[in-house]
Structure 1
Amino acid sequence: MLPTSDQYKRAVVSGNRSSAAIILFGVYDVTAKDDATLTAASQPFTSINAVKGDVREPDYRAGTFEQDYLNLDGSFYLMPDNVNPAQDILGWWSQQMSNSQGTFDEVDWGLSFKQTDYVSVPYDSRQNLTSVLSLETWIKFIDQDNRVIIEKSNNNTHFQFQSLQVNQGSLGAAGRIAFMVSTQPGDWVTNGSVATTLALNDGKWHHLVGTYDKASKTAKIYVDGVLNNTNTNITNVPTSNTSPLLIGSRSGVSGFGGSLKEIRLWNKALSLSEIQYSMTNSLTGSESGLVGYWRLREKSGIYAADSSPTTNRGTLVNSPDWIQYIPTITIQFASLHSSLGIGLFFGSSDCCSEFDVTWYRGASLIGYKQVTDNTLQDSNVPIAIENYNKIVIRLIKTVKPYRYARLMEIGFGLEEAFDNNELTIASITEEIDPISSALSVNTLKFTVLNKNQRFNMLNPEGVYAFLQRRQKIIAKSGLWMPDGTYEYLPMGTYYLSDWKNATGLTATLEATDVIGLLDRTTYRSSKFWVNEPVENVLRHILDDAGQFSLIVSASAASEKVTGYIPVKSHREAISNVLTATRNTLRVGRNGIINVIKVDYDTVLDTIRNDTLISGSPSIEQKPLVTSVEAKEYSYVLSPDTTELNNSTFSVVGTQTVFIEYGKAAANVSVTVTGSGSIVGSPVYSAVSVKLTITGNGSVTVKVTGRAYTEAARTVITQLAVIPAGEVPQTATISDNKLITGNGSLVATHVLNYLQRRISQKFGYWSNPAIQAGDCVSVETMFGSNRSGVVERQEITFAPKLIATLEVTG
């Protein structure tokens, strides 16, 4: 909970002005996560995707601040693409990590079959199921032929799993699996089986369950914990027989080629919840209804033990192979990367006690690290590796018995944490421009003790070589409260922009907020908008720049946009949108961009004289502006197609180019002549086209389309009365192609702001909940109060919490 205004005042008046500072610094290769392609061997899901953490703008003054859950911009979350995130099983791998007799066992084993080998389980009456049953297994195969996987049959009258060959009856194409209850007396396809609708012969592990209920004439088949198909017309009834249960074959023929493990036979039809539990848990063998459980973990020998109460041991025939399956993640990169290590974030107490990581450059092994006896949910592996393009991670053992391998996040680098013991000084500068003529960039600057020369560029084991621009930094400040506790507040999310080699006792690092990032990239993708909601336009710009979170207030969201944005930086493009819609923005302390209308009337805090450092504020009156002029545009789309650009240049190999039109256009097309040709499809916007061209010499690119004709007029808004003795002064709004039909409104908005001429500047014992853009009331030396908006503040939060504010009203 945030300190309330009264708590804060009691703290500072009583002299408890000390601060606790924390800076979390992600020393990651920030391009690696976007360059990575992941494959996960020995896991049941079809692929692994990187996903963002769910964050929201905290309500600081309501006391509902939540810990920022965003990673430090060098890692990603793992989520199987066929699992609902709400199920909270991110990054589960199928391999169970078991515990036997109190000692940790290697991660999972199984049997690999070669079509001529199998396991024979003797007849047992308790496994003669004719009314209700469930058959369960983990399976991995690539075969497309008609193969029997598991069967208990006598003249085709009992249950089996069977893989399907191409167009086998109406059950489907190659790679699908049928759960056959009985093939006689009627049509076995329609009346005796149910098949998956998915091909499972992809060489990956899948969890498979078939259930049968005679009373309801229903058979179901489940894949990876999800109901896949149902047949409610099962009239073929299985009959009792004395045949053995065969794993991997049908009476020694039609042998299965692939791998199996964790085979379970139940004398009941499992429910969906039971199946999902069974899929993600190793069983004890004493579960209700379990009449057969062949783990296939013996590792060697000719027997497969039955862990159920039936204890019906199977015998290996023709030597199927015992295979160890270690959950393995392979990460391939398109380019070379360097990092100070790797972080594995398991996210729960079900972490791995043993794992190893191998780094490669091409086929060459360039680094290896094994971790044993780990008990940490978030495990950092400190090893400096330069110029790698592949990482292989193996999860070998878990801390707890009977657990699955679980990994939620991988970081290409390590996280550094600095507190008051290492920070000699830390400060932030926050600004806001209420009329958005230029978007302000908030900054962080901090100096740390250079322990062990970590920031010395000559130190081969130091941090310096792995520093990169855009590495993410999160700052927090804790205020020492009267009750003896610290109340922590976020001080912002920043991205490393500059650092200095330190050979002495300290190192200084500087960072900017997200707006600083937007100043370094170019926006060429403008549409021509007509009465478009401002939020849609802003999201288009931010999506073009990368993944940035945005919140638009209700008052700001009502504005509409017409026109286009010429090629410029993303920061300038957003400034154009905000100026034209009379909005502004500030970056929240959690890094989220907030678009708002500045509120000059709602006072959020009162700054009293007894919290000021140097007595009364210094007061300045800004120059008087008597009028504002703006250029207002209108557009007409030409009915004729004309040439927009004609460029000739040299291309050797394949390269991507942007061709600008010089004006907004629609219905654009492009032709390339000479020693080159277009690869793929051009990407058109209202102002440019993006082309990939391959060639070996001079090429000519001709762009044609229908251009928008522009007409501009100057709009001037001025004060009704100019004070005596004042000289008229005019402010001009920068050229903005989005000011269309609303020039007077925009000019009036700017003129009204410029009449707020009183600026107060003062130092005080900071309330860190205050941000630039907040309306505050400042107590004057005469006992009255004067309100205004915080346009700039410099906060030092280590070693003490003090600030200098500039308030305009």
Structure 2
Amino acid sequence: MYNASQKYKDGIYGESRANKGRVTFDVSDITASSDVASISTSGEFALSNKAQLTNKVRGMTNNLATLEQDRFKLDGSFSFADDTLSNNGEVGWASDMICNPLGEFLQTNLIPDPMFKTGVAGWFKPGFDQLSWNGSVFNPISGQNGVMYLYDGAGQPLTTGYAYRNVPNRPTAAHSVKAVVKLLKGDINSINCGGTMYYTDLSYTDLTWTNSATTRVARPDLGANVYELTATLTPSGGRTVSNIDCRISHQDTLETELYLYAIQLEQSPTPSTTIVDGTARPQVTVAFNADHSSVGLTVTFDPVGNEWATDFTITAYDSSDNVIVSYPYTGNSLAQVTAEGQLTNYRKVTVTITKWSVPNRRARVSEIDFGIVKVYTGELGLISMQLTEEMDLTTGELPSPEFQFTVDNSSREFNILNPVGFYKSLQQKQQVIAEIGLELDDGSIEWVPVGNYFLWEWQSDEGSLTSTFYARTGLDLMSNVPYEQLTENPSSLRQLAIYVFGLCGITNYSVDPALDSILTNSMAQKVNCKDVLQMIALAGCANVYVTRDNVITVKAVPAPTSSVDTISLNEQYAEPRIVLDKVVKQVDVKYWTDLSTGVVTSSAAVGVTLGDTLTLEGNTLINTTDRAAIVGQWILAQKNNRAIYNINWRGNQAHEVGDVVTIGTSYGTGLNAYVTRTELKYEGYVQSTTEARGVAN
């Protein structure tokens, strides 16, 4: 059973409940993510894994606490990271840069001056050592260090400005003050840059404000209303300078509001390096070995933390590094953004982030999809969906889950004749993720996955202006891959299973470690990999099923000693229908010493004289009489679950095949049984048909 919260468990069987459906459909070039040559970034935080950017997981496993503003709270909203990066699950990419209090990503290039005293910096950044001067008051906006109101404590506009840093023991020479500011309110022409020079032969009372001419140059590379201010301070009368106070002031009666990015004092001539660089932004670059084409590009930022880039640019390049198309965004408010448009023969894609939705945070990207990721809900075009999943307790068959969904196609975007539609971009194996949510008492929705599938078939339903899509799992892909081993190759069943998954290119699998202790010669003749997986499971007395995360699992289901849930009579539309399967008195299993020599070992049920005899003879991975006897006894035990219950009820999307549930009847005592088949339907509400098997009383 899917691990849902207690609030979900309390609400799923309520008298009234509201279910929501959601299907995420990735209309992408399926060859692109497997053809990635490199993923490079402008920099990477320690809790970051850029390799996860193209793995089709659009979100983080946990909301990890970090030493960023408001990302370290002990209120349950954050998780502590494990020291081993891989143990943190999906983390996506996080930049090494942290944005400023305005959410902007800008790089400072402040140059240490060798003439300063040791340990004394020659520059100022917001949040460090603000000093008042001549009665002025530093008034930051709450929560935004570095935003300055230039007026005094009585609310009157200032004319004297700010002192930021003493710079001791300078020689007799001219100095330059350079600052970069954003004008938030007022007039830039009223802003002056300068300072006060202290001389060794004068007292403090003899000093005056040095107000040299201020040069103001716009910096559009840093954004609107950003200016670089430069002024020169020159000693008078050849005096020796002992200290300098750098200042920004305004000589106006109007209220002026600035954000200071950086300020620096340098001995003239002023260094040519800019003190604030607008070219160094958080950036992700994905390069391919070959050209690719898609109907768009999709970027998912941080949906778990509910953060996103507000200003960013997506750019596609050809093999000669020429720009094919660029999508600039400003003022974005979505955690997932799709840039639509037919892109042809791109070799590289970049995402450059200039501004973030939350101040003093790192940029985070969880996934880049090379196509359009469409999300359908009941409010956004989802008409219905249906899941059918099965598991054979004896592994006599390997049924794969089947999923279908129908969406509104009144826009005809999936019609084959539509020249600007998506039909020509549909490909087998495109990702389909299905979820059904329950609205909780607090109004939030808890989503339960009902499968992660590959698109298999599709059709446009012209009469009803809908389109229907059919999806399967990786288990179906295995039937297209051949397997043959004509000579002995001793290995464990688990090793062989891992090898077979590798042949099929499947990485999302789980094999019971118990199969490591069971040996086989690995021999089989002209079969496919799905058949071999079934043979492995039978030889290891295991079951095969696909989890809701599309993980192909080879594992023996536990004995039905305790149930995970109860299907009470109140949830059923009618009394469950019960059918008894045939009695099995004997199982004959043939074991193979080579591909041409097989010997039968029989296992009989104790105390049973009448019944069927089952035969298992084609499994060439069973190589000893002892293993054949163990398999025979296991099949007998599984066949003892003869009672087949068919239940038509309200349903619970958290139930999975292999779960042990208690089935309520009108006779009082509930019956424990394995869930072996589920049909789950959603059409604005949920209903289910469940088949379960248990021991006949």
> 1:469: how far off?
2.0
Q: Give the length in aligned residue pairs.
A: 541
> 1:737: how far off?
2.0
Q: Is residue 561–residue 581 contact of structure 1 (8 Å, CA) maintained in 2?
A: no
In structure 2, which of residues 644, 667, 673 is the aligned counterpart of residue 759 of structure 1?
644
Which SS does the other structure have where 2:265 is aligned? coil
Q: Deviations over 1:96-142 (max 9, x none)?
A: 7668xx7x98855869xxxxxxx996x73xx243xx79999xxxxxx
> Partners in 2 of 1:321 and 1:784 — Cα distance?
78
Which residue in the other structure is 2:393 paired with? Answer: 434
> 1:771: how far off?
1.8
Which SS does the other structure have where 1:51 is aligned? helix
In structure 1, which of residues 595, 609, 634 is the aligned counterpart of residue 569 of structure 2?
609
Which residue in the other structure is 1:325 paired with? Answer: 279
1:450 aligns with 2:404: no
Which residue in the other structure is 1:491 paired with? Answer: 450
Q: Deviations over 1:373-409 (max 9, x none)?
A: 2243433222232443333444345556777655443
CA pair 353-631 structure 1, distance change in 2 beyond 3 A: same
TM-score (norm 2): 0.64
Q: Which moved more, 1:414-423 or 1:715-724?
A: 715-724
Which SS does the other structure have where 2:392 is aligned? coil
Which residue in the other structure is 2:265 paired with? Answer: 311
The amino acid of 2:566's aligned partner reads T
Which residue in the other structure is 1:621 paired with? Answer: 580
1:372 aligns with 2:330: yes
Please report the RMSD computed on the Cα atoms of aligned residues, expressed in angstroms: 4.9
CA pair 94-386 structure 1, distance change in 2 beyond 3 A: same
1:737 aligns with 2:621: yes
Which SS does the other structure have where 2:641 is aligned? coil
> Partners in 2 of 1:720 and 1:597 — Cα distance?
23
Which SS does the other structure have where 1:315 is aligned? coil
> 1:321: how far off?
13
In structure 2, which of residues 599, 610, 625 is the aligned counterpart of residue 713 of structure 1?
599
Q: For 1:232-247, what aligned pairs fall within 5 Å after superposition?
A: none
CA pair 85-733 structure 1, distance change in 2 beyond 3 A: closer
Which SS does the other structure have where 1:379 is aligned? strand
Which residue in the other structure is 2:479 paired with? Answer: 519
Q: Could you tell me which runs of 5 or more consecutive residues in structure 2 were left unpaired when the two chains were aligned.
A: 63-83, 124-168, 174-179, 181-216, 222-226, 233-245, 247-260
> 1:795: how far off?
1.1
Q: Deviations over 1:25-61 (max 9, x none)?
A: 22222321121223547558999851389999xxxxx
In structure 2, which of residues 682, 685, 692 is the aligned counterpart of residue 797 of structure 1?
682
1:356 aligns with 2:313: yes
The amino acid of 2:293's aligned partner reads S
Q: Deviations over 1:527-580 (max 9, x none)?
A: 966563x544434433443353444567x5675232215464433232222111
TM-score (norm 1): 0.56
Which SS does the other structure have where 1:496 is aligned? strand
> 1:302: how far off?
12
> 1:511: how far off?
1.1
1:787 aligns with 2:666: no
Q: Which moved more, 1:418-427 or 1:535-544?
A: 535-544
> 1:336: how far off?
3.5
Which SS does the other structure have where 1:434 is aligned? coil
Which residue in the other structure is 1:51 paired with? Answer: 52
> 1:519: how far off?
3.4
Q: Which moved more, 1:563-572 or 1:516-525?
A: 516-525
The amino acid of 1:315's aligned partner reads P
Which residue in the other structure is 1:395 paired with? Answer: 353
1:341 aligns with 2:226: no
Q: Is residue 112–residue 121 contact of structure 2 (8 Å, CA) maintained in 1?
A: no
> Partners in 2 of 1:731 and 1:342 — Cα distance?
54
Q: Is residue 284–residue 351 contact of structure 2 (8 Å, CA) maintained in 1?
A: yes
> Partners in 2 of 1:91 and 1:775 — Cα distance?
39
1:38 aligns with 2:51: no
Which residue in the other structure is 1:186 paired with? Answer: none
Q: For 1:163-174, what aligned pairs fall within 5 Å after superposition?
A: none
Which SS does the other structure have where 2:34 is aligned? helix
> Partners in 2 of 1:415 and 1:318 — Cα distance?
46
CA pair 68-483 structure 1, distance change in 2 beyond 3 A: same
Which residue in the other structure is 2:342 paired with? Answer: 384
CA pair 621-350 structure 1, distance change in 2 beyond 3 A: closer
> 1:793: how far off?
1.5
CA pair 582-133 structure 1, distance change in 2 beyond 3 A: farther
> 1:796: how far off?
1.0
> Partners in 2 of 1:803 and 1:372 — Cα distance?
45
1:583 aligns with 2:538: no
Q: For 1:84-483, what aligned pairs fall within 5 Å after superposition?
A: 91-92=93-94, 107-108=106-107, 124=115, 127-129=116-118, 311-313=265-267, 315=269, 325-327=279-281, 329-347=284-302, 351-363=308-320, 365-398=323-356, 406-421=364-379, 422-479=381-438
Which residue in the other structure is 1:142 paired with? Answer: none
1:806 aligns with 2:691: yes
Which residue in the other structure is 1:20 paired with? Answer: 20
Q: Deviations over 1:252-277 (max 9, x none)?
A: xxxxxxxxxx9xxxxxxxxxxxxxxx
Q: Deviations over 1:424-483 (max 9, x none)?
A: 221111100122233221111111111422222233443322222222222222346788
> Partners in 2 of 1:485 and 1:90 — Cα distance?
25
